[in-house]
A and B are shown apart, each in its own frame.
Chain A
Amino acid sequence: MSYEVMVGNKATATGCKLARVKVAAVFPITPQTTITEYLSEIHASGEMPGFEFVNAEGELSSQVIAQAAEAVGARSFTCTSGPGLLYMHHPMQETASKRLPLVMAVVHRGVKSMQPDHSDLMSQQWQGWLHLYVENAQEILDTTIMAYKIAEDKRIRLPFAMGYDGYVLSYTAEPVEIPAQEDVDAFLPPYKPMPGILPLSGPPSGRTSRSTPRSSAQAGARATP
């Protein structure tokens, strides 16, 4: 175990490194930007062999890339803030309905302002994601590691959103205990993808209705059970 005085965003990136994340697909937005920077630094330094860093062209694609990576069995990560979260609203629903254990850090920022408030993640309450709101930089690091353990549990299998206040936590530096890599490895085994609950091509009902047009007789039969 070691210590470092670090900002909240660095704690997130350190948590990802310790959790041995394979793919990070991110698009920078204040106040999340420095997570992107720290992750790209980790990627460039070569500390994590096999780590893929994708600088997506927008939040929608960052969510889709992370979702696809998770679907093929790579432990993935994405992060965003405020308006960026609303932009990934649509693929977020798909991540939850495919039951993919993706972890996302949401650095709170008002949807209409730069100030930290919870209106961004609160607006995504019924997306099927687990939410956890944390209090300090230490909790950010611990929760990032914990999030994978919870999300990848067979009994849960849900995407996980960790929320923390922009500026107040993201840019404030405070002492953080960094657990040893062996301890994290013992706590968090490598990700083993589970067979999908739904086929990735979509629910079968959608295909049948399109491929076999409903006759008027069938429609009538359904109307009168």
Chain B
Amino acid sequence: MIEIRLHGRGGQGAVTASRIIATAAYEEGKYSQAIPMYGTERRGAPLTAYVRIDDVRVRERELVHTPGYSLCFDPLISLQQAVANDMLAGGKVLLNAPFAPDKSELAGNIEIATVDATSIALETLGRPITNTALLGAFAKATGIVKLESIEKAIKKYFPGKLGDMNIAAVRKSYEKVSPWVPAKNKVAPKMQVDLEVGGYGTLKDVSSWRVFYPVVDEAKCIGCKTCWIFCPEAALEWKANNKPTMVDRACKGCGVCANECPVKAIEMKRVEIK
């Protein structure tokens, strides 16, 4: 039985990706199961999903505890050891990361491959929804499912033009994925950052959730406080000069402020990952 664990954030489509993999495997005559595991769903919160693929009907209903494959849809979660923990010996970890796999600090008896799925998603879909942009890489690197089956499954989930855009993302990541490289660190350090779901912006540090962050152009800003009213996380502070500024630990990068600003004084800039 092949067991896969998927890491992502609410809004990146990790759960849909798990169902697409399960559908693609079933298209190839295998039995499959896709299990989502999340608590109070909201955009940006870390979540995991699991997939089982087997030649006979899967009767097991437990969550996957020792996966052979781990997929990560988020560039910042990709830096966390939790992605590579509890793997089978020689387990394969596919990361959405803008760097080569030998740069990854993840430890254990694992092999790592990377693909810059966020950039692919932004080029093809225009939004950082990275699920399909990692699935092509998954098909190429693991060979568990064929590219055609993934495309067939995507057409079922996204009919019409949206499906074509997602298939373009899949094909691009199929070409761009790096080869497997054994992890340079063999001993896993203590897990540095938790992958908990709970907590709210003002109470908990969510700065690692962002793909984009708001930058205020103070020359354009008219101080109307529209952004402050619409911010769902109370992540905008008011400065003495009547202009807003981002609260670093509270902003999850949703972009509502930039969208609501009547004079378009807020620009969403992409977070740089070294």
Contacts and interface: CB of A to CB of B under 8 A. Distances in A.
A114 to B, nearest CB: 9
Interface in A174-192: 174-175
Contacts of A133: none
Nearest to B26: A175
A168 B62 CA distance: 8
Interface in B34-58: 34-36, 58
Interface in B235-251: none
Interface residues of B, number: 14
Contact of A3 (B18, B22, B26, B36): B26
A171 B26 CA distance: 18
A174 B60 CA distance: 12
Contacts of A168: 61
A204 to B, nearest CB: 51
Nearest to A174: B33
A3 B26 CA distance: 9
Interface string B18-30: 1100110010000
Interface in B51-92: 58, 61
A123 interface: no
Q: Is the interface of A mostly helix, strand, loop or mixed?
A: strand
A171 B22 contact: no
Given A5-B22, A5-B23, A5-B26, A172 B34 contact: yes
B180 interface: no
A173 interface: yes
B32 interface: yes
B99 interface: no
Contacts, number: 34
Nearest to B156: A4
A173 B16 CA distance: 10
Nearest to B157: A5
Contact of B32 (A4, A5, A169, A171): A5
Contacts of B58: 174
B61 A172 contact: yes
Contacts of B33: 172-174
Contact of A174 (B34, B36, B156): B34
A169 B61 CA distance: 9
A173 B34 contact: yes
A164 to B, nearest CB: 11
Contacts of B35: 171-173
B212 interface: no
Interface of B: 18-19, 22-23, 26, 31-36, 58, 61, 156
The 10 nearest A-B residue pairs measured at CB: A173-B34, A5-B23, A175-B26, A173-B19, A174-B33, A172-B35, A5-B22, A5-B26, A168-B61, A171-B36
12 contacts: A3-B26, A5-B19, A5-B22, A5-B23, A5-B26, A171-B36, A172-B33, A172-B35, A173-B35, A174-B22, A174-B34, A175-B31
